Chains A and B, each alone.
Chain A
Amino acid sequence: MTDTSVQIESLWKKFRRGERHDSIRDLVPAAFKRMLHGPPAGHDLRDDDFWALQDISFSVGRGEAVGIIGHNGAGKSTLLKILTRLLQPTRGSYSTSGRIGALIEVTAGFHQDLTGRENVFLNGAIIGMRKAEIARRFDAIVEFSGIGEFIDTPVKRYSSGMNARLGFSIAAHLDPEILIVDEVLSVGDYTFQGKCVQWMQDTLRNGTTVIFVSHNMDAVLSLCNRALLLNHGKVLAEGRTVDVIGEYYRGGAGYFVELRPDVFARTIAFSSTHDETNVVDAGERVTYTHTVVADRDCEISPGLQIRRENRAVVRSSYARMRGEPLRLAKGESTTLDWSLFYNFPAGAYTVSYFIEDAKGGYHDFMNGARIVIVGDDPKVKSECYVGMSLVQESERTLSGGGALKLIGRR
């Protein structure tokens, strides 16, 4: 008995861009062409081929939870499809031990004209449950989904949330040894989502191996102890979840700001007192140092923005703090020190710096200049006061952004 659940060795997957011949009418002329020009070269990469996965190797231990993150098109879904036997790798091998359950598009097997009850049996069979098994768990499935009395109504009359809840409930009762989850924990309303997360944690505690694909970094962070970052089909980073998420954000994930066409102020240096690691303890204080230079006489407002999952948590700028923009002469440079009190809930945060003009246009915007993973500290969790820190009267003009404070200008 080995303690490896999933073993992937040097996996490659090739896809073809563009159209294929998918009617016999197209095939006949193509076959003639091949006869005249000889067959296309065997396994080599042709012009219209591309590698969706390149040399992927990793293993997942029994009972381990591994997160797979990466941009859209990084190869996450392709990898999952290979693991769930939907696609065949072009090269390489993989092995899995134990029944695989997939929480991917949980309503794929539903038929709209059938009732909820009929769909439970149909979908359960599709994902690999025996009839007796479904019958035994039927009440639990309905109970979990919260569908209640509507179970004998055709699912076409269900709301999309009800649909997803029922689908999730069926899949959640498959009781697999390896669970593959692709971005489904966000179905249903707030209450149901809580139920899903609770269920995931129970599943993990029961020793189920979990492979978790998500763009929700907080979820990955809280569920997985190890993660894999894919980029254009290659493994870019593998290791502790916090480090891998840091790597992901450094790639500039998912946030784009357009600069104004005529840029005349630039950042020439940015550093922090916490540059050696991404991980910050809750409640720690970090100072960020931002140096800007002006290419002509101007009024600008440099600042910092802290985001979590693309939502700004704290944002502040010079003008906001001082009530007036920063005036620089042509060629002049200045350095600003920002102090940030990390009294934040645990999670992944990105620190971005920017240089704004008076009208909200940007001269500079460095997305994800630093990635910060705030550790889980039960003491802090309950008393987080981002955005409502009490500042002394004498500092009132400096108090705009709550936990973010402009210390001074050098």
Chain B
Amino acid sequence: MLAALRNATTEVWDHRDLLEQLALRDIKLRYKQAAMGFMWAVFMPCLIVLSGLIIRYAMARIAGQTLVASDVANIAVKGVGWAFFVGALGFATASLVGNSSLVTKIYFPREVLPLSAVAAQSFDTTIGLGTLLVLLPFLGVRAHMSLLWVPALLALLVVFTTAASLFLSCANLFYRDVKYIVQIVLMFGIFFTPVFFEPSMLGTRGAHLAMLNPMTGILEGLRITIVAGQDLSRPITTLVHGVETPMWEPWELVYSAVWAIGGLLGATAMFRRLQPLFAEFI
């Protein structure tokens, strides 16, 4: 698997200009002849945050509480992360089949197609993050030492998304209904991933179950380090109705990293193995 990753890396590196051109193409196409222009980059996170706020407002009302600024910040941070994941996977899954005229006619390492989809989405997300950077101080977020965790968490997010992109683009080439399955899973995935809520709201067992989702460690990690300003190296608990409930477990980080790195190794190995068949089966 390591050999596959090494081969893929060398070949993709040799074609880095192609990767750049393809990502540039995707970005240009997203903004050319588009009514929203650069608003696109923040449109999806905005929608996610708005729907999260409605749900949280309803929850707070029933519990007889009110929404606070940090609730908005929580959802916004995780919303941007989730929007990246969903957006990248959506584009990447279709990237091989959508470029079938290239896949059947010209040789280049096929990894660059899903990778360029992830890269193009990264561009959008960078705009989203920039917007977030401006807004967060108004929501009461202050800089902490814990922000040092953020680059590592973002790297995990990108690696995990890349792994899933490689796997799904390849699967969609052989089985065309993968695209629809991905669409549905991503549509409802937001309810299985702590974006609108925190694992601790589900009680001790519920929290541990929610932590089995590899995205939980990444998104919650971002929230805890950015908004709550707490360190990830030790367990964090919170009081829910007087019961001490887990909010963060350090193993989540390791767990997510195993998924991301293991996934990348596995997906690359699979992609490399099947790549010679692409032109024939597409």
The interface of chain A, by Cβ under 8 A from chain B, is 15, 20-25, 27, 81, 84-88, 102, 104-105, 108-109, 111, 113-114, 118, 121-122, 125-131
Q: Please classify how large the interface on chain B is, using the bins under 10, 10 to 19, 20 to 34, 35 or more.
A: 20 to 34
Please report which residues of chain B, range 250-282, place their CB below 8 angstroms from some CB of chain A when the two chains form the complex. Answer: 276-277, 279-281
Verify A87–B280 contact, CB threshold 8 A.
Answer: yes
Q: Type the 1/0 row for B98-133, where 1 means its CB is closer than 8 Å to any CB of A.
A: 000110111110000000000000000000000000
Chain A hits for B29, CB < 8 A: 111, 113-114
Main secondary structure of the interface of A (DSSP, over half): loop
Q: Which chain A residues lie closer than 8 Å to B181 at the CB level?
A: 24
Can you list 17 pairs linking A and B with CB atoms under 8 Å apart?
A15-B280, A23-B175, A23-B177, A24-B177, A24-B181, A81-B279, A84-B107, A86-B105, A88-B277, A108-B101, A111-B25, A113-B32, A122-B22, A126-B18, A126-B106, A128-B108, A131-B20
* Given A86-B107, A113-B29, A113-B32, 15 further pairs, Cβ under 8 A: A22-B175, A24-B175, A84-B107, A102-B106, A109-B106, A111-B29, A113-B33, A114-B29, A122-B21, A122-B22, A125-B15, A126-B21, A128-B108, A129-B17, A131-B21
In contact, A114 and B28 (Cβ under 8 angstroms) = yes
Residues of A with C-beta under 8 A to B108? 126, 128
Structural contact, B175 and A104, CB atoms closer than 8 A: no
A109 to B112 alpha-carbon distance, docked (Å): 14
**For B24, what are the chain A residues with a Cβ–Cβ distance below 8 Å?**
122
State whether the Cβ of B61 lies closer than 8 Å to any Cβ in chain A.
no
Interface residue B178 (Cβ < 8 Å from any Cβ of A): yes
Contact B17 A130, beta carbon cutoff 8 Å = yes
B112 to chain A, nearest CB (A): 9
A126 touches B32 (CB 8 A): no
Q: A24-B178, A24-B181 are in contact. Are A125 and B18 (CB under 8 A)?
A: yes
B205 adjacent to chain A (CB < 8 Å): no
A12 to chain B, nearest CB (A): 14
Distance (whole angstroms) from the CB of B19 to the closest CB of chain A: 8
Given contacts A81-B279, A125-B17, contact A104 B105 (CB under 8 A): yes
Bound Cα distance A128, B106 (Å): 9
What is the minimal beta-carbon distance from B200 to any residue of chain A, in angstroms?
37
B contact set with A: CB distance below 8 Å: 15, 17-18, 20-22, 24-25, 28-29, 32-33, 101-102, 104-108, 174-178, 181, 276-277, 279-281
The reply to whether A105 and B107 contact each other, CB–CB distance below 8 Å, is no
Across the interface, which residues of B come within 8 angstroms of A84, CB to CB? Answer: 106-107
The answer, among A20, A27, A105, A129, for a CB contact under 8 Å with B105, is: A105
In Å, the complex CA distance between A21 and B174 comes to 8
Query: Are B25 and A108 in contact, with the CB atoms below 8 A?
Result: no
Given A109-B106, A126-B106, A128-B108, residue A114 in contact with residue B101 (CB < 8 A): no
Contacts of A121 in B (CB 8 A): 21
Query: Which of B17, B20, B106 neighbours the largest number of chain A CB atoms within 10 Å of its CB?
Result: B106
A126 touching B281, Cβ below 8 Å: no
**Cβ–Cβ < 8 Å partners of B25 in chain A:** 111, 114, 118, 122
A23 to B171, CA, bound (A): 10
Residue among A87, A122, A126 having the largest count of chain B Cβ atoms under 10 Å: A126
B181 nearest in chain A by CB position: A24
Check if B176 sits within 8 Å of A22, measured CB to CB. Answer: yes
A378 to chain B, nearest CB (A): 40
| Residues from chain B with Cβ under 8 Å of A109 in the complex | 102, 106
Chain A positions within 8 Å of B105 at CB level: 86, 104-105, 108
What's the Cα separation between A108 and B178 when bound, in Å? 26
Contacts of B106 in A (CB 8 A): 84, 86, 102, 108-109, 126-127
A85 in complex: contacting residue of B107, B178, B277, CB < 8 Å = B107
Cα A125 to Cα B104 with chains together (Å): 16
- What are the nearest 8 A-B pairs in CB distance? A125-B21, A125-B18, A88-B276, A85-B107, A23-B177, A86-B279, A108-B105, A131-B17
Contact of B104 among A20, A86, A114, A122 (CB under 8 A): A86
Contacts of B279 in A (CB 8 A): 81, 86-87
Q: B32 — which chain A residues lie within 8 A by C-beta?
A: 113-114
Q: What's the minimum C-beta distance from B250 to chain A, rounded to whole angstroms? A: 37
Write out the residue numbers on chain B whose beta carbons fall within 8 Å of the beta carbon of A24. 175, 177-178, 181
Do the beta carbons of B176 and A23 come within 8 Å of each other? yes
Contact present for B176 and A20 (CB under 8 Å): no
- A108 and B176 CA atoms in complex are apart in Å by 22
A9 to B98, CA, bound (A): 35
| Min CB–CB distance B148 → chain A (angstroms) | 35
Which of these, A25, A81, A88, contacts B177 with CB under 8 Å? A25
A residues near B104, Cβ cutoff 8 Å: 86
Rounded to whole angstroms, the CA-CA distance of A30 and B17 in the bound complex is 42
| Min CB–CB distance B53 → chain A (angstroms) | 36
Rounded to whole Å, the gap between the CB of A37 and the closest CB of chain B is 22
User: Are A126 and B176 in contact, with the CB atoms below 8 A?
Assistant: no
Which residues of the partner chain B approach A129 to less than 8 Å between Cβ atoms? 17
B102 touches A126 (CB 8 A): yes
Min distance, Cβ B37 to any Cβ of chain A, angstroms = 15
**Chain B residue nearest to A110 in the complex (CB):** B101
Tell me the nearest residue of chain B to A15, going by C-beta: B280
Give min CB distance, A4 to chain B, whole Å.
21
Complex CA distance for A114 and B279, rounded to whole angstroms: 25
Q: Tell me, rounded to whole Å, the shortest Cβ–Cβ distance linking A221 to chain B.
A: 27
Residues of B within 8 A of A81 (CB): 279
Residue in chain B with minimal CB distance to A89: B276
